[in-house]
Amino acid sequence: MSALLEFKDVKKDFPVRKGIFQRIVGQVTAVNGVTIDVERGKTLGVVGESGCGKSTLAKMLVGLMPLTAGEILFDGKPLHQSDNMETIESARQIQIVFQDPFSSLDPRLPIGHSIAEGLVIHKIGDATSQRKAVGEMLDLVGLPPTAADRYPHEFSGGQRQRIGIARALIMKPDFIVCDEPTSALDVSVQAQILNLLKSLQQELNLTLMFISHNLSVIRHVADDVMVMYLGAPVEMASAKQLFADPKHPYTKALLSATPVADPEKRVERIRLQGELPSPINPPSGCTFHPRCALANDRCKREIPKLVDHKNFSTACHAVEEGRS
Ligand code: SF4
Protein backbone atom coordinates (compact mmCIF):
# COMPACT_ATOMS: atom_id res chain seq x y z
CA MET A 1 0.00 0.00 0.00
CA SER A 2 1.29 3.48 -0.86
CA ALA A 3 1.64 6.41 1.52
CA LEU A 4 -0.67 9.32 0.72
CA LEU A 5 1.03 11.59 3.21
CA GLU A 6 4.66 11.64 4.33
CA PHE A 7 6.12 13.76 7.10
CA LYS A 8 9.88 13.94 6.71
CA ASP A 9 11.79 15.25 9.74
CA VAL A 10 9.24 18.05 10.19
CA LYS A 11 10.20 20.76 12.67
CA LYS A 12 8.51 23.90 13.92
CA ASP A 13 10.11 26.60 16.08
CA PHE A 14 8.42 29.70 17.43
CA PRO A 15 10.28 32.81 18.61
CA VAL A 16 9.94 33.70 22.28
CA ARG A 17 9.39 37.46 22.65
CA LYS A 18 9.71 39.65 25.73
CA GLY A 19 9.25 43.24 26.85
CA ILE A 20 7.29 46.15 25.37
CA PHE A 21 9.33 45.96 22.14
CA GLN A 22 8.61 42.24 21.87
CA ARG A 23 12.30 41.50 21.31
CA ILE A 24 13.11 37.88 20.42
CA VAL A 25 14.89 36.36 23.40
CA GLY A 26 14.86 32.71 22.40
CA GLN A 27 12.88 30.07 20.65
CA VAL A 28 10.62 27.21 21.51
CA THR A 29 10.49 24.00 19.50
CA ALA A 30 6.85 22.95 19.18
CA VAL A 31 7.46 20.06 16.78
CA ASN A 32 10.84 18.37 16.73
CA GLY A 33 11.62 15.90 13.96
CA VAL A 34 8.40 14.10 13.05
CA THR A 35 8.85 11.42 10.39
CA ILE A 36 5.86 9.23 9.62
CA ASP A 37 3.81 7.98 6.66
CA VAL A 38 0.02 7.79 6.49
CA GLU A 39 -1.21 5.01 4.19
CA ARG A 40 -4.06 5.70 1.79
CA GLY A 41 -7.45 4.83 3.31
CA LYS A 42 -6.04 4.49 6.84
CA THR A 43 -6.29 6.58 10.01
CA LEU A 44 -3.25 7.84 11.86
CA GLY A 45 -4.08 8.66 15.48
CA VAL A 46 -1.88 11.34 17.07
CA VAL A 47 -2.08 11.45 20.85
CA GLY A 48 -0.48 13.41 23.66
CA GLU A 49 -1.19 15.98 26.34
CA SER A 50 -2.14 19.53 25.48
CA GLY A 51 1.02 21.35 24.31
CA CYS A 52 2.72 18.25 22.87
CA GLY A 53 2.74 19.70 19.33
CA LYS A 54 -0.07 17.67 17.76
CA SER A 55 -2.21 20.67 16.73
CA THR A 56 0.86 22.51 15.39
CA LEU A 57 1.46 19.46 13.19
CA ALA A 58 -2.13 19.74 11.89
CA LYS A 59 -1.79 23.46 11.19
CA MET A 60 1.41 22.91 9.17
CA LEU A 61 -0.33 20.19 7.21
CA VAL A 62 -3.26 22.36 6.14
CA GLY A 63 -0.99 25.31 5.35
CA LEU A 64 -1.98 27.51 8.30
CA MET A 65 1.64 27.61 9.44
CA PRO A 66 4.98 27.32 7.59
CA LEU A 67 7.47 24.57 8.50
CA THR A 68 10.80 25.54 10.07
CA ALA A 69 12.52 22.47 8.60
CA GLY A 70 11.73 19.17 6.92
CA GLU A 71 9.06 18.54 4.36
CA ILE A 72 5.55 17.16 3.95
CA LEU A 73 4.79 15.14 0.81
CA PHE A 74 1.22 14.62 -0.35
CA ASP A 75 0.80 11.92 -2.98
CA GLY A 76 4.56 12.11 -3.51
CA LYS A 77 4.69 15.89 -4.07
CA PRO A 78 5.95 18.51 -1.62
CA LEU A 79 3.09 20.43 -0.02
CA HIS A 80 2.91 24.23 0.08
CA GLN A 81 6.12 24.69 -1.90
CA SER A 82 4.75 23.94 -5.32
CA ASP A 83 3.36 26.46 -7.78
CA ASN A 84 0.12 28.26 -7.01
CA MET A 85 -2.25 25.94 -8.88
CA GLU A 86 -0.84 22.87 -7.14
CA THR A 87 -1.08 24.65 -3.78
CA ILE A 88 -4.74 25.46 -4.44
CA GLU A 89 -5.37 21.84 -5.41
CA SER A 90 -3.69 20.48 -2.27
CA ALA A 91 -5.77 22.95 -0.20
CA ARG A 92 -8.85 21.30 -1.69
CA GLN A 93 -7.58 17.75 -1.16
CA ILE A 94 -6.69 18.26 2.51
CA GLN A 95 -9.48 19.52 4.75
CA ILE A 96 -9.71 20.00 8.50
CA VAL A 97 -12.45 19.43 11.06
CA PHE A 98 -11.87 21.56 14.17
CA GLN A 99 -12.71 20.92 17.81
CA ASP A 100 -15.15 23.83 17.92
CA PRO A 101 -17.08 24.14 14.65
CA PHE A 102 -19.14 27.00 16.10
CA SER A 103 -16.18 29.39 15.96
CA SER A 104 -15.71 28.72 12.24
CA LEU A 105 -19.40 29.32 11.39
CA ASP A 106 -20.60 32.88 10.79
CA PRO A 107 -23.47 33.38 13.33
CA ARG A 108 -25.18 35.87 10.95
CA LEU A 109 -25.38 33.48 8.00
CA PRO A 110 -27.46 30.33 7.40
CA ILE A 111 -25.16 27.31 7.64
CA GLY A 112 -25.66 26.51 3.93
CA HIS A 113 -23.46 29.56 3.17
CA SER A 114 -20.68 28.32 5.45
CA ILE A 115 -20.79 24.79 4.03
CA ALA A 116 -20.58 26.13 0.45
CA GLU A 117 -17.79 28.60 1.27
CA GLY A 118 -15.00 26.35 -0.08
CA LEU A 119 -16.81 25.90 -3.39
CA VAL A 120 -17.29 29.68 -3.68
CA ILE A 121 -13.62 30.42 -2.86
CA HIS A 122 -12.39 27.80 -5.33
CA LYS A 123 -15.00 28.92 -7.92
CA ILE A 124 -16.43 25.41 -8.23
CA GLY A 125 -19.88 25.36 -9.89
CA ASP A 126 -22.62 27.99 -9.88
CA ALA A 127 -25.14 28.94 -7.16
CA THR A 128 -27.57 26.16 -8.18
CA SER A 129 -25.00 23.36 -8.18
CA GLN A 130 -23.47 24.67 -4.95
CA ARG A 131 -26.86 24.62 -3.21
CA LYS A 132 -27.44 21.07 -4.50
CA ALA A 133 -24.01 20.00 -3.18
CA VAL A 134 -24.83 21.51 0.24
CA GLY A 135 -28.05 19.45 0.39
CA GLU A 136 -26.14 16.27 -0.54
CA MET A 137 -23.50 16.89 2.12
CA LEU A 138 -26.12 17.55 4.81
CA ASP A 139 -27.81 14.30 3.86
CA LEU A 140 -24.46 12.48 4.01
CA VAL A 141 -23.83 13.64 7.60
CA GLY A 142 -27.36 12.84 8.77
CA LEU A 143 -28.99 16.29 8.68
CA PRO A 144 -32.04 17.26 6.61
CA PRO A 145 -31.29 19.36 3.49
CA THR A 146 -33.64 22.05 4.90
CA ALA A 147 -31.06 22.65 7.65
CA ALA A 148 -29.11 24.74 5.10
CA ASP A 149 -31.40 27.71 5.80
CA ARG A 150 -31.03 27.61 9.58
CA TYR A 151 -28.49 29.53 11.70
CA PRO A 152 -25.61 28.06 13.77
CA HIS A 153 -27.22 28.83 17.15
CA GLU A 154 -30.21 26.62 16.21
CA PHE A 155 -28.05 23.45 16.30
CA SER A 156 -26.71 21.29 19.14
CA GLY A 157 -22.97 20.65 19.60
CA GLY A 158 -23.15 17.29 17.82
CA GLN A 159 -25.14 18.76 14.91
CA ARG A 160 -22.62 21.59 14.58
CA GLN A 161 -19.84 19.04 14.34
CA ARG A 162 -21.82 17.29 11.57
CA ILE A 163 -21.97 20.68 9.83
CA GLY A 164 -18.17 20.98 10.25
CA ILE A 165 -17.75 17.56 8.62
CA ALA A 166 -20.13 18.48 5.76
CA ARG A 167 -18.10 21.64 5.22
CA ALA A 168 -14.91 19.60 4.88
CA LEU A 169 -16.51 16.92 2.68
CA ILE A 170 -18.01 19.32 0.16
CA MET A 171 -14.52 19.86 -1.26
CA LYS A 172 -14.31 16.12 -2.04
CA PRO A 173 -11.01 15.80 -0.16
CA ASP A 174 -8.75 12.74 -0.08
CA PHE A 175 -7.45 13.56 3.38
CA ILE A 176 -9.14 14.99 6.47
CA VAL A 177 -7.38 16.20 9.60
CA CYS A 178 -9.67 15.80 12.60
CA ASP A 179 -8.30 18.05 15.35
CA GLU A 180 -9.96 16.95 18.62
CA PRO A 181 -13.36 16.83 16.84
CA THR A 182 -15.18 15.20 19.74
CA SER A 183 -13.52 16.60 22.85
CA ALA A 184 -16.17 19.33 23.36
CA LEU A 185 -19.06 16.86 23.06
CA ASP A 186 -20.97 14.64 25.50
CA VAL A 187 -19.83 11.02 25.56
CA SER A 188 -22.95 9.67 23.80
CA VAL A 189 -22.65 12.29 21.04
CA GLN A 190 -18.89 11.59 20.76
CA ALA A 191 -19.66 7.99 19.80
CA GLN A 192 -22.13 9.10 17.11
CA ILE A 193 -19.59 11.47 15.53
CA LEU A 194 -16.80 8.86 15.66
CA ASN A 195 -19.07 6.28 14.02
CA LEU A 196 -20.11 8.80 11.39
CA LEU A 197 -16.47 9.59 10.56
CA LYS A 198 -15.64 5.88 10.33
CA SER A 199 -18.53 5.09 7.99
CA LEU A 200 -17.79 8.14 5.82
CA GLN A 201 -14.16 7.06 5.63
CA GLN A 202 -15.18 3.68 4.24
CA GLU A 203 -17.82 5.09 1.90
CA LEU A 204 -15.59 7.81 0.45
CA ASN A 205 -12.19 6.08 0.81
CA LEU A 206 -10.85 8.89 2.97
CA THR A 207 -7.49 8.99 4.71
CA LEU A 208 -7.60 10.55 8.18
CA MET A 209 -5.24 12.04 10.71
CA PHE A 210 -7.09 12.00 14.02
CA ILE A 211 -5.69 14.16 16.80
CA SER A 212 -6.79 13.63 20.39
CA HIS A 213 -5.56 13.79 23.96
CA ASN A 214 -7.85 10.83 24.66
CA LEU A 215 -6.53 7.32 24.00
CA SER A 216 -10.04 5.81 24.22
CA VAL A 217 -11.02 7.88 21.18
CA ILE A 218 -7.83 6.94 19.33
CA ARG A 219 -8.45 3.25 20.10
CA HIS A 220 -11.87 3.55 18.46
CA VAL A 221 -10.70 5.11 15.18
CA ALA A 222 -6.99 4.62 14.47
CA ASP A 223 -5.10 2.03 12.43
CA ASP A 224 -1.72 3.43 13.46
CA VAL A 225 -0.80 5.62 16.41
CA MET A 226 1.90 8.19 17.11
CA VAL A 227 2.34 9.22 20.75
CA MET A 228 3.93 12.67 21.15
CA TYR A 229 5.58 14.23 24.16
CA LEU A 230 6.88 17.81 24.22
CA GLY A 231 7.00 18.10 20.43
CA ALA A 232 8.56 14.75 19.57
CA PRO A 233 7.22 11.28 18.80
CA VAL A 234 8.07 8.86 21.62
CA GLU A 235 6.24 5.78 20.34
CA MET A 236 4.76 4.73 16.99
CA ALA A 237 3.01 1.45 16.26
CA SER A 238 -0.12 -0.07 14.83
CA ALA A 239 -3.11 0.55 17.12
CA LYS A 240 -3.35 -3.20 17.73
CA GLN A 241 0.27 -3.42 18.87
CA LEU A 242 0.22 -0.22 20.92
CA PHE A 243 -2.91 -1.03 22.89
CA ALA A 244 -1.90 -4.66 23.47
CA ASP A 245 1.71 -4.02 24.43
CA PRO A 246 2.72 -0.36 24.96
CA LYS A 247 6.47 0.12 25.32
CA HIS A 248 7.25 3.70 26.28
CA PRO A 249 6.66 4.64 29.96
CA TYR A 250 4.63 7.68 28.82
CA THR A 251 2.34 5.55 26.62
CA LYS A 252 1.92 3.11 29.52
CA ALA A 253 0.92 5.95 31.84
CA LEU A 254 -1.59 7.36 29.33
CA LEU A 255 -3.04 3.92 28.73
CA SER A 256 -3.32 3.11 32.44
CA ALA A 257 -5.52 6.20 32.86
CA THR A 258 -7.90 5.03 30.12
CA PRO A 259 -11.13 3.38 31.32
CA VAL A 260 -11.40 -0.31 30.31
CA ALA A 261 -14.75 -2.15 30.37
CA ASP A 262 -13.28 -5.65 30.90
CA PRO A 263 -12.20 -5.91 34.59
CA GLU A 264 -9.63 -8.61 33.69
CA LYS A 265 -7.85 -6.23 31.32
CA ARG A 266 -7.62 -3.35 33.79
CA VAL A 267 -4.11 -2.32 34.81
CA GLU A 268 -2.97 -0.38 37.84
CA ARG A 269 -3.01 3.34 37.14
CA ILE A 270 0.47 4.87 36.69
CA ARG A 271 0.38 8.39 38.06
CA LEU A 272 2.73 10.75 36.24
CA GLN A 273 4.90 12.82 38.56
CA GLY A 274 4.67 16.60 38.17
CA GLU A 275 3.38 18.68 35.28
CA LEU A 276 4.28 18.79 31.59
CA PRO A 277 7.53 20.84 31.54
CA SER A 278 7.73 24.15 29.69
CA PRO A 279 8.88 23.69 26.08
CA ILE A 280 10.74 27.02 26.45
CA ASN A 281 13.11 25.37 28.90
CA PRO A 282 12.82 21.60 28.33
CA PRO A 283 14.56 19.13 30.65
CA SER A 284 17.97 17.79 29.58
CA GLY A 285 18.37 14.34 28.02
CA CYS A 286 15.00 12.60 27.76
CA THR A 287 12.44 15.37 28.22
CA PHE A 288 10.19 12.89 30.04
CA HIS A 289 12.80 12.06 32.72
CA PRO A 290 11.45 14.33 35.55
CA ARG A 291 8.13 12.41 35.38
CA CYS A 292 9.43 8.92 34.64
CA ALA A 293 9.71 6.21 37.30
CA LEU A 294 12.38 4.40 35.21
CA ALA A 295 14.67 7.43 34.71
CA ASN A 296 18.38 6.98 35.48
CA ASP A 297 21.48 9.13 35.02
CA ARG A 298 21.72 8.27 31.32
CA CYS A 299 18.15 9.51 30.82
CA LYS A 300 19.11 12.88 32.35
CA ARG A 301 22.13 13.24 30.03
CA GLU A 302 21.32 11.60 26.72
CA ILE A 303 18.39 12.27 24.37
CA PRO A 304 16.96 8.86 23.39
CA LYS A 305 16.67 8.29 19.64
CA LEU A 306 13.53 6.90 18.06
CA VAL A 307 14.55 3.29 17.30
CA ASP A 308 12.66 1.11 14.82
CA HIS A 309 11.87 -2.34 16.27
CA LYS A 310 9.91 -3.63 13.26
CA ASN A 311 6.52 -3.80 15.06
CA PHE A 312 6.97 -0.51 16.88
CA SER A 313 9.33 2.45 17.20
CA THR A 314 10.14 4.04 20.52
CA ALA A 315 12.50 6.63 21.99
CA CYS A 316 13.46 5.26 25.40
CA HIS A 317 16.74 4.09 26.95
CA ALA A 318 14.88 1.68 29.27
CA VAL A 319 13.32 -0.12 26.30
CA GLU A 320 16.75 -0.37 24.61
CA GLU A 321 18.33 -1.63 27.83
CA GLY A 322 15.56 -4.17 28.38
CA ARG A 323 14.44 -2.70 31.72
CA SER A 324 11.03 -1.43 30.63
FE1 SF4 B 1 11.99 7.17 31.11
FE2 SF4 B 1 14.56 7.19 30.51
FE3 SF4 B 1 12.83 6.07 28.85
FE4 SF4 B 1 12.92 8.69 29.12
S5 SF4 B 1 14.53 7.42 28.30
S6 SF4 B 1 11.12 7.44 29.06
S7 SF4 B 1 13.37 8.90 31.28
S8 SF4 B 1 13.34 5.40 30.94
- The finding on whether 299 has its CB within 6 A of some atom of ligand 1 is yes
What is the C-alpha separation between 10 and 87, in angstroms, rounded?
A: 19
CB-hemisphere CA count at 13 Å for 165?
31
pLDDT band at 82 (very low <50, low <70, confident <90, very high): low
Closest atom of ligand 1 to 296 CA is: 2
What average pLDDT does this structure show over 229-257?
A: 94
Q: Which of 289, 297, 301 to mutate to test the pocket of ligand 1 (most atoms within 8 A of CB)?
A: 289
- The finding on whether 289 has its CB within 6 A of some atom of ligand 1 is yes
User: Domain residue spans in the chain?
Assistant: 3-320
Strands (E) in the chain, as ranges, are 3-18, 23-39, 43-47, 69-74, 77-78, 94-97, 175-179, 207-212, 224-229, 232-238, 307-308, 312-314
The pLDDT > 70 percentage for the chain reads 94
- For 27, 231, 288, 298, 314, the CA distances from 50, given in Å and listed in that order, are 19, 11, 15, 27, 20
What is the C-alpha separation between 135 and 144, in angstroms, rounded?
A: 8
* pLDDT in the model for residue 1: 63
Closest by Cα among 101, 10, 79, 26 to 278: 26
Of the given ranges (89-98, 224-233, 253-262, 265-274), which has the lowest mean pLDDT?
265-274
What average pLDDT does this structure show over 133-161?
A: 94
Q: Residue 83 pLDDT more than 80?
A: no
Query: Over the stretch 259-300, which tens digit does the pLDDT of each residue have?
Result: 666 666 666 777 777 788 888 889 999 999 999 999 999 999
- Structural fold of domain 3-320: Rossmann fold (3.40.50)
- The finding on whether 253 has its CB within 6 A of some atom of ligand 1 is no
- The finding on whether 242 has its CB within 6 A of some atom of ligand 1 is no
Closest atom of ligand 1 to 300 CA is: 7
Query: Over the stretch 15-71, which tens digit does the pLDDT of each residue have?
Result: 988 888 888 888 899 999 999 999 999 999 999 988 889 999 999 998 888 999 999
What is the C-alpha separation between 208 and 213, in angstroms, rounded?
A: 16
Of the given ranges (35-49, 85-99, 226-240), which has the lowest mean pLDDT?
85-99
pLDDT band at 113 (very low <50, low <70, confident <90, very high): very high
What integer best gives the mean pLDDT of the chain?
Answer: 90
- The finding on whether 295 has its CB within 6 A of some atom of ligand 1 is yes
* pLDDT in the model for residue 103: 78
3-class DSSP state of 103: helix
Q: Residue 238 pLDDT more than 70?
A: yes
- The finding on whether 294 has its CB within 6 A of some atom of ligand 1 is yes
- Across 262-299, b (16+ Cβ under 10 Å) vs e yields eeeeeeeeeebeeebbebeebbebbbbbbbbebbeeeb
Q: Residue 84 pLDDT more than 60?
A: no
The pLDDT > 90 percentage for the chain reads 67
* pLDDT in the model for residue 87: 62
Which residue's CA lies nearest to atom 5 of ligand 1?
Answer: 316
11, with CB counted inside 10 A (0-12, 13-18, 19+), is: middle
Which residue's CA lies nearest to atom 6 of ligand 1?
Answer: 316
pLDDT band at 99 (very low <50, low <70, confident <90, very high): confident
Closest by Cα among 169, 195, 166, 200 to 182: 195
- The finding on whether 286 has its CB within 6 A of some atom of ligand 1 is yes
What is the whole-number distance in angstroms between the Cα of residue 263 and the centre of ligand 1?
29
The CA dihedral of 304, 309, 312, 314, to the nearest 10 degrees, is: 0
Task: For residue 249, list its beta bridge partners.
Answer: none
* pLDDT in the model for residue 274: 78
What is the whole-number distance in angstroms between the Cα of residue 146 and the centre of ligand 1?
55
Query: Over the stretch 185-212, which tens digit does the pLDDT of each residue have?
Result: 888 899 999 999 999 999 999 999 999 9
The strands making up 307-308's β-sheet, listed across from edge to edge, are: 94-97, 175-179, 207-212, 43-47, 224-229, 232-238, 312-314, 307-308
Query: Over the stretch 119-145, which tens digit does the pLDDT of each residue have?
Result: 998 889 999 999 999 999 999 999 999
The strands making up 77-78's β-sheet, listed across from edge to edge, are: 23-39, 3-18, 69-74, 77-78
What is the whole-number distance in angstroms between the Cα of residue 317 and the centre of ligand 1?
6
